[in-house]
């Protein structure tokens, strides 16, 4: 029991303390209300669910079935993605580059200014989209390794 207590105190507790420091002390309070930002639990559950359905449940369900015909669903999906990309591009221009921000270095605006909140929204959601794309590619590599 002493060994377990030592491992917990020496290895796990500093990791938990570092996470709490980065998340709660250094975290940006403006993003507290953003979806899946404050805690890693929802994102980890979402990723676990995706991996489970991609690797186990999906192939088991489709084992004796014909592939779905998704031509029109994919056309609609791609159209929505184009609209969302246009929206993000517009928000990026309207939120900063055409008005308050410039291309040289400048300090980060931590105020509750609507423009600063708009830019932080863009940063969080565009980066999360990038991370999901990267994660999706790594999950496919993981599936190929199986």
The reported pLDDT for the residue numbered 145 is 52
Render pLDDT for 59-101 as a digit per residue (tens, 0 to 9). 999 999 998 899 999 999 999 989 988 887 887 777 666 776 6
The reported pLDDT for the residue numbered 105 is 73
State the CB neighbour count (10 A cutoff) for residue 116: 19
Domain ranges of the chain: 1-32, 66-145
Query: Are 38 and 32 in contact, with CB atoms under 8 Å apart?
Result: yes
C-alpha angle 40/42/46, rounded to 5°? 115
Of 99, 89, 73, the residue nearest 126 (C-alpha): 89
pLDDT under 50: residue ranges of the chain: none
The reported pLDDT for the residue numbered 132 is 60
The reported pLDDT for the residue numbered 130 is 59
Query: Are 30 and 116 in contact, with CB atoms under 8 Å apart?
Result: yes
């Amino acid at each position: 029991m002493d060994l377990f207590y030592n491992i917990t105190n020496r290895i796990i507790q500093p990791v938990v303390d570092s996470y709490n420091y980065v998340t709660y002390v250094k975290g940006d309070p403006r993003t507290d209300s953003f979806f899946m930002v404050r805690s890693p639990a929802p994102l980890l559950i979402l990723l676990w669910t995706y991996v489970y359905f991609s690797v186990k449940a999906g192939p088991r369900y489709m084992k004796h079935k014909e592939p779905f015909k998704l031509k029109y669903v994919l056309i609609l999906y791609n159209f929505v993605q184009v609209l969302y990309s246009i929206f993000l591009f517009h928000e990026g221009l309207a939120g900063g580059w055409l008005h308050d921000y410039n291309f040289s270095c400048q300090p980060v605006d931590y105020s509750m200014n609507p423009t600063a909140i708009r830019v932080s929204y863009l940063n969080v959601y565009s980066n999360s989209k990038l991370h999901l794309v990267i994660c999706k590619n790594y999950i496919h590599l993981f599936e190929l390794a199986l």
